[in-house]
Structure 1
């Protein structure tokens, strides 16, 4: 594993880690993490996937995980979700430059499958495997979450963010610590029926519509946050992309539980991880070398 720090065009530091296979790589996989989830969480899966022949990159968005400088306060971080999309772009550029003649796939977990519609270098992306991702619109949240999320968005987020200057999610055991600009923009998205496209308007709709890479979205039946309806809503934003939604139930794989985060946990190495590798292969056009 190799760790590097990239500098985005606007001067932000983004720390990434790369796992390279022993043999020539099939291509690149960039793992886009979920909201408030550090890249450390994906390390076991990234290492395993590299063992299957892929060059795998993980990263932390600015202001989070290893990309938050030592001694830097989140109160000082000026970032929103557009900035995080620029971080994603920078990592994609770096991964593509390492293997310019091989396919580059995004494996987006939750938020990591929402932001690719905002990328300005979509031409470098060969496909998106979306895992446990939905639009985030609150009425399309899982039932248990939907019963309490109104309090989260209308009381907890505005109050805590105003008091602390950022969202102290770790203290509150909600999502994770997030920059003020990120949580407040995400709030606007989640309160709009069309999510990011509805909240941000026509320019963002066109960005999603420009995506031509195939999208394969995995909806997890026992996801405690996202629903099948929400997954379809997210995929519909990529209106001109070839897309498919697959419903994955734990029982189909003889598992007790998967949930929103379970796909990347180490206990899935022998069951779900090989399926994820197969689904990455399924994104490749028929007859391509990566198929």
Structure 2
């Protein structure tokens, strides 16, 4: 099945490139919120799998990335807060309007999970899955070498490259996609804080996450140096009203050699991990809302 390509307009007029898999007699609609510096194309196989399980699926790119990228990123203004406050809200409202008779679900990868926790539009969701989502504190990165590398990229390289190019040239240094300057520098600033964006009063993250009262499936992987247990603990401690099912998974349990921070969305995870998430989403659709909450 090939998705329909479309454009969704954010409240401030920014066009967001999106793709929608629409299936006959869909059971519900799933929105996929991407990770930082990862475009929607990375999630296409997983989206197709969910469509095969009977879901409409919507993927998209945050402003300044992928199909939502302007002709030039030099001087282009965007922040992570705009991703959450503008883009996530826009695609959620679009899905609700396009499929008004279906329940809404979401899957968020890394910062996409943060978006589910922070967005006021999460109130529209029936349930959500957080994949490798964590408080991205650089001091908590597991492994001395990886921690040193992350700190060098975020604290030294990012400010220099953003000043030189006017944006973060992620492709040139193997950091995934290029990023708008404001996104990169805001992200870098949060990683230096002891509790990530929970220490940024402008985000008001603790209050916003306390509003979330839906069922959440939270997936962490034992070989993920970033979204390790301690970093995930910080994030979940600010979701006191959500009904959380947490799974810490070793790659051998999934029958794969590695999962890490990015591997869940690779096709080799279909037989075990994708199936378990598909089953969980279908169960949330089928059970009464009060039973899940």
How many residues of Structure 1 are paired with residues of Structure 2 in the alignment? Answer: 287
User: Does structure 2 conserve the Cα–Cα contact (< 8 Å) formed by 1:215 and 1:283?
Assistant: no
Task: Tell me which residue corresponds to 1:78.
Answer: 77
How far the C-alpha of 1:283 sits from its partner, in A, is 4.4
Counterpart-to-counterpart distance in 2, 1:61 and 1:99? 21
How far the C-alpha of 1:196 sits from its partner, in A, is 1.4
Q: Which moved more, 1:46-55 or 1:245-254?
A: 245-254
Task: Tell me which residue corresponds to 1:123.
Answer: 123
How far the C-alpha of 1:268 sits from its partner, in A, is 2.4
User: Does structure 2 conserve the Cα–Cα contact (< 8 Å) formed by 1:136 and 1:195?
Assistant: yes
Counterpart-to-counterpart distance in 1, 2:8 and 2:182? 22
Counterpart-to-counterpart distance in 1, 2:149 and 2:123? 40
* TM-score after normalising by structure 2: 0.91
1:108 has 2:108 as partner: yes
How far the C-alpha of 1:239 sits from its partner, in A, is 2.8
Counterpart-to-counterpart distance in 2, 1:149 and 1:4? 35
1:59 has 2:60 as partner: yes
How far the C-alpha of 1:285 sits from its partner, in A, is 7.6
User: Does structure 1 conserve the Cα–Cα contact (< 8 Å) formed by 2:17 and 2:60?
Assistant: yes
Q: Which moved more, 1:141-150 or 1:39-48?
A: 141-150
User: Does structure 2 conserve the Cα–Cα contact (< 8 Å) formed by 1:145 and 1:225?
Assistant: no
How far the C-alpha of 1:281 sits from its partner, in A, is 3.3
Task: Tell me which residue corresponds to 2:43.
Answer: 42
Q: Deviations over 1:45-64 (max 9, x none)?
A: 11111010001000000110
How far the C-alpha of 1:118 sits from its partner, in A, is 2.5
How far the C-alpha of 1:259 sits from its partner, in A, is 1.8
Counterpart-to-counterpart distance in 1, 2:203 and 2:262? 32
What secondary structure sits across from 1:35 in the alignment? Answer: coil
Counterpart-to-counterpart distance in 2, 1:93 and 1:29? 13
Counterpart-to-counterpart distance in 1, 2:258 and 2:187? 28
Q: Which moved more, 1:98-107 or 1:129-138?
A: 98-107
The change in CA–CA distance for 1:202 and 1:167 in structure 2 (over 3 A counts) is closer
Counterpart-to-counterpart distance in 1, 2:203 and 2:73? 31
Q: Which moved more, 1:216-225 or 1:84-93?
A: 216-225
Task: Tell me which residue corresponds to 1:10.
Answer: 12
Counterpart-to-counterpart distance in 2, 1:149 and 1:27? 38
The change in CA–CA distance for 1:273 and 1:203 in structure 2 (over 3 A counts) is closer
Counterpart-to-counterpart distance in 2, 1:168 and 1:147? 20
Counterpart-to-counterpart distance in 1, 2:260 and 2:75? 34
Task: Tell me which residue corresponds to 1:265.
Answer: 266
User: Does structure 2 conserve the Cα–Cα contact (< 8 Å) formed by 1:220 and 1:248?
Assistant: yes
Counterpart-to-counterpart distance in 1, 2:17 and 2:270? 26
The change in CA–CA distance for 1:285 and 1:135 in structure 2 (over 3 A counts) is farther
Task: Tell me which residue corresponds to 1:153.
Answer: 154
* TM-score after normalising by structure 1: 0.92
Q: How does 1:159-178 map to 2 (within 5 A)?
A: 159-178=160-179
Long gaps (5+) in structure 1: none
Counterpart-to-counterpart distance in 2, 1:201 and 1:82? 10
Q: Which moved more, 1:180-189 or 1:194-203?
A: 194-203
User: Does structure 2 conserve the Cα–Cα contact (< 8 Å) formed by 1:82 and 1:118?
Assistant: no
What secondary structure sits across from 1:30 in the alignment? Answer: strand
Counterpart-to-counterpart distance in 1, 2:182 and 2:48? 32
- Please provide the CA RMSD for this pair: 2.0
User: Does structure 1 conserve the Cα–Cα contact (< 8 Å) formed by 2:81 and 2:203?
Assistant: no
Q: Which moved more, 1:193-202 or 1:212-221?
A: 193-202
Long gaps (5+) in structure 2: none
